[in-house]
Amino acid sequence: MSILVVEDLVKHYTVRRGWFGGAAEPVRAVDGVSFVIDSGECLGIVGESGSGKTTLTRAILGLERPTAGRILFEGEDIHALSPKALRAQRARIQMVFQDPHASLNPRMSVRDIVAEPMEVHRDVLRLSGRQITDRVAELLELVRMERGHLTRYPHEFSGGQRQRIGIARALACNPRLVVLDEPTSALDVSVQAQVLALLIGLQDQLGLTFLFISHDLAVVRYICHRAALIYRGKLVEDGPVDQIFDAPRTDYAKTLLAAMPDPDPGKSPFWGPAAQGKIQPDSEKGAP
Amino acid sequence: MALLDIRGLRLAMTSFDGETEILKGIDLTIPQGAIAGVVGETGSGKSLTGLSVSRLVPTPPGRYLGGRILFDGHDMLAASEEEMRALRGTRISMIFQDPTTNLNPAFRISTQMVDAALAVAARDPDILSLPATARRRQKRAVARQLAIEMLGRVGIVDPAQRIDAYPHQFSGGMRQRVLIAMALIGRPKLLIADEPTTALDVSVQAQVLALIHSFVVDRGLTVMFITHNLGVVAQICNEVAVMRQGEIVESGPVAKVLTSPAHAYTRALMASVPTREMKRGDLSFSVDPVEAAV
C-alpha cells in the first residue's frame, strides 16, 4: 500500500531582476516529479547539488507550497489540510538531518531534545512528564544508547552518537514516514556503517517507511529498496536499486555510476591494473 | 628519489586540558611524481600532517616534539619563516576542502590570480619570463596572460572572458578548478590537497581527479592527497598511508594496501565502505567504534 504519492509536483521560484525590475524567468526547482513510496520500503532520492532534492523534501514536509501538483500522504493532500490538521499530520512525518552538530540544540539535554516532538504533539499523545521520560529512555535503548545519557548534553557525544540522538527524536511520535536527509554524509565510514546498520534494523523492527536523500550512490544501494534519480528538477530514472545499478537505462544514471569512486584499485580509471604501483606517463591514461 | 621524507614526526597541541600528542611519530616518504594518499578518519591527524609539511601549524598552540621533514633538500622544521615563505607557492602549494572560503568574495578571480602570480614571480622571476626590472604594469599584463592560460588548462571554458567574474558567479567545481590553477601557477613540485573533492558532487569530483592526475602525468607534479574517502584513494593514488589516532598503521602501494591489507584497522575500514555491488544489510562492520568523549 502506498503511503506517500507525489503527483506531478512543480515548484518554481520567481526571481526579480534588480531592485525594481519585473519577474525574470522562474527557477524551476522541481519540474513535474511523480513517485510513490510504499509502506515499509526505503526509497532513495539521488541527485547532485542543485537538482531539487531539498525543495522536494520541503514540499513533502509541508514547508513549501507547490506551484502545481499534489502530495498525498496516507490518501490526504497535505497542502489542502487546515493548519490544525497539518500540525497533527506532522507528527507522522519526521525528519533526520544531515549535520548532527547543527541539528541538536547545545543548551538542551538529551532528554529534552528527544522529548521535544512529544511536547509539541502533547494534545494528541497526552503523555505526562514521567511517561515522556520513560519513552525517551526507551527510544535511546532503541538506538543503542543508554538511559544514563538522558541528562547529558550534545557536546558530550561523538558525531555518530549525535546522529543516533537525532534518529531517536525522529522516532519519538511513532511516525509513519521518516525523511532522512543525507544522514551519514557528515560521518566517518566506520560510524556510517554502524548508523546504516541501525537504520536497517529499525526499519525491519518497527515497519517504518524511509525517504532517504543522498548523493552517495553506494549508500543508496546499500540501504534502499528503490531509488529515484533527479536531475535539474526532473525525475530521470526510478526503479528497484538492483535495476538502476546493474542495468541503468538512462545516460544520466550511467554517467553517475561511472563517476562513483570504487574502492577497488584495480578499477582505477587513471592507473590501470598493469600500471599499478609505479608511474607510467603516457600509458593507461583514460583506460577503464 | 623521495621528494618528501617525513621521519618520526611528533606534534603536540596545547588546549585547556593540557598538552596532547596529536602526531605520534609519523614516517612517510613520497617519491617524485607519486600521488600519495593519506587516509584516516576524523581526528587521525591527516590534515595536521599536511599542514606540517608547509609548516602552517601555528606554534603555539602546536609544538614539535621531534622528527624531521625533508622536502627537496630543505629541512622544513628548521627553516626560517623567510625561507618558508619562499617555498610556499613556488615549491609547495596547497588546496583545501571548501573552495568557497578560500577565494575572496569581494575580488574578481583575475585580481586574485594575478596577485598570486606576482607573489610567486617575486621569488621566481622565470615564471613571467620578464626581467626583474620590468615595469609593474607590464608584469601585471603578463601575469594576467599566465592566469588565463592556467584557467584554460584547468578546463574553464572561455577563460579570457570568465577570468573577470567574481567567485559567486562560479559553481563549486569551477571554484575548485580556480584554486588548483592558482596553486599551480608557481609550478610547485608538491601539491598538498586536503580533501579537495569532499564538497563536490561525484561527477565533478571525477573531473577534478582527472585534472590533478593530468598535472602529475604531464608536468611531473607530486601530490599528497589527504582524504577520508577510500574510493577516491583507490582511484587516483598510487601510494597510500592509513592513519589512525596520530599514527600511520600501514603504508605502501595502493594495490597492495587496499586489496590485501595487512593491518586489522585497514581491513575494518575497507569492510565498512559500501560498494556498488553490495546488497541491503551486507556490510560487515567490525570496526571498533572510535566513540570518544563519553
Residue whose C-alpha is closest to residue A178's, from A240, A92, A56, A72: A92
Taking CB atoms and an 8 Å cutoff, what residues of chain B touch A269? 210, 235
Q: How confident is the model at residue A278 (pLDDT cuts 50, 70, 90)?
A: very low
ipTM above 0.90, yes or no: no
Give the list of residues 6+ apart from residue A72 with CB closer than 8 angstroms, or none: A4, A5, A6, A7, A78
Check CB contact of A271 with chain B, cutoff 8 Å: yes
Residue whose C-alpha is closest to residue B180's, from B164, B160, B200, B161: B200
Write a three-state SS string for B153-186: HCCCCCHHHHCCCCHHHCCHHHHHHHHHHHHHCC
Terminal Cα-to-Cα distance of chain A (whole angstroms): 43
Nearest to B283 among A152, A222, A245 (CB): A222
Terminal Cα-to-Cα distance of chain B (whole angstroms): 46
What letter represents residue B191's amino acid? L
What distance in Å separates the CA atoms of residue B237 and residue B243, rounded to the nearest whole number?
Answer: 15
Check CB contact of A258 with chain B, cutoff 8 Å: yes
Nearest CA in chain B to A286: B210
- B202 with A222: Cβ contact below 8 A: no
- A262 with B203: Cβ contact below 8 A: no
**pLDDT tens, position by position, B158-203:** 899 999 999 998 888 889 889 999 999 988 999 999 988 888 888 8
- A218 with B275: Cβ contact below 8 A: yes
**pLDDT tens, position by position, A209-267:** 999 998 888 899 999 999 999 998 899 999 999 999 899 999 999 988 888 888 888 87
Q: How confident is the model at residue B289 (pLDDT cuts 50, 70, 90)?
A: very low
What distance in Å separates the CA atoms of residue B184 and residue B178, rounded to the nearest whole number?
Answer: 10
Residues 140-199 of A with CB under 8 A from B: 149, 152, 156-161, 188-194, 196-197
What distance in Å separates the CA atoms of residue A115 and residue A112, rounded to the nearest whole number?
Answer: 5
Q: What percent of chain A has pLDDT over 70?
A: 92
Q: How many CA atoms lie within 13 A of A159 on its CB side?
A: 19
Nearest to B231 among A149, A222, A262 (CB): A262
**pLDDT tens, position by position, A144-198:** 998 889 999 999 998 889 999 999 999 999 999 999 998 988 888 888 888 999 9
Over 60: is that where the pLDDT of A284 sits?
Answer: no
Nearest to A263 among B172, B256, B258 (CB): B258
Nearest to A160 among B232, B280, B289 (CB): B289
Taking CB atoms and an 8 Å cutoff, what residues of chain A touch B218? 281
Over 70: is that where the pLDDT of A114 sits?
Answer: yes
Taking CB atoms and an 8 Å cutoff, what residues of chain B touch A156? 293-294
**Global confidence as pTM:** 0.81
